[in-house]
Structure 1
Amino acid sequence: MIIVEKADPLDAESHRLIEMLSSELAAITGDNGKSHFAIDAINGDNSLWVLARNTRGNAIGCGAIRPVTQHIAELKRMFSDRSEPGVGHALLRFLETSAREMGYSELWLETRLINHKAVRFYEKNGYVRIENYGPYIGRKEAVCFSKALH
C-alpha cells in the first residue's frame, strides 16, 4: 500500500528524492530539470508538495502542483524510485484530486520528448498534448500536456 501525503519540500527526504529525479533526468535527457524548478514555487499559496511512502514509512516518490493561472496548475517534479509498483499512479491521483479541491480545473505539465516512459505514462492517464507554454515555447525537445479535472 502506498500512502501519499502533504510534505515539506525543504526536508531531507524531499531533497533526496529531488536529487534522485534530477540525476535520472540528466541521464535520460542531458538536462537535470533544475532550471525550470524552484522550491519557492511549490512552497507557497495554492501550491502543494507531496511524498509517497511505502508501508514502512519510507519516502519512495514525490510530486507537486503550482499555480499557472487561477484555474490552471502545473504538475512538477513527479518521481518514483521504482522500489514498488503503483507509486506514479498514486501520486498522480492524489495531486489531481488535491488540485480539484484547491479550485483548479486543469493541470498542465512538461516533459521531454526523449523521455518516452513519462510521455506514455501521462498519455495513458488521460493527458493530451497541447502547444508548449511559458518557458517551453519554441523548445522542440519539450512536449506539454493538459488534463481537464472533472
Structure 2
Amino acid sequence: MEGVVIVKVEEEDEDEEDHFQRERNSTELCPPFLSRSTTMNERALLSSYLVAYRVAKEKMAHTAAEKIILPACMDMVRTVFDDKSADKLKTIPLSDNTISRRICTIAKHLEAMLIARLQSGIDFAIQLDESTDIASCPTLLVYIRREI
C-alpha cells in the first residue's frame, strides 16, 4: 500500500484544560535536563557573541576565533580545571561564517540604537567629512553632537 497514511483517531473524553494541566505537571516532575541544556545553549550563544565582539573590536580575521581563540581557551580550561569543562567549550559556535553573522547582527543593533536615540526628539548637530587615503579608498567620518 504505497501512499496510504493510516491515522488513528481517539475520542476526547477529557477536558482540554485537564489535559494541559496534567501535561504541565508531568513536565515539571521531569528531571531538569531540558532547562539545563537550554541554559547551556544560551550561554554558548552569549559566548559566541562576546567572542565575535572582541574579534571585531581587534579587527582580527573571522577565522581567528575558531583557529586560535577556541583552542587556546580549551588548553587553558583543561590545564586549570579538567577535560570535561574544556569539552563544554566545543558547544560554542565560532566558525568564520558564524562570527561574520554575529558581527553583522551587533552592527545592525548598534545602528538601530543610534537611530532611535537620534529620533528621540533631542536637538543635534551633524558634521560629515569624506576623504580618500593613499590607496584611493574613500573614508566617511560622521560627527554627531547632541545635548544631554
Higher helix share: 2
- Shorter-chain TM-score bucket reads under 0.3
Task: Please say which structure displays the higher CA radius of gyration.
Answer: 2
TM-score (norm 2): 0.25
Higher strand share: 1
TM-score (norm 1): 0.24
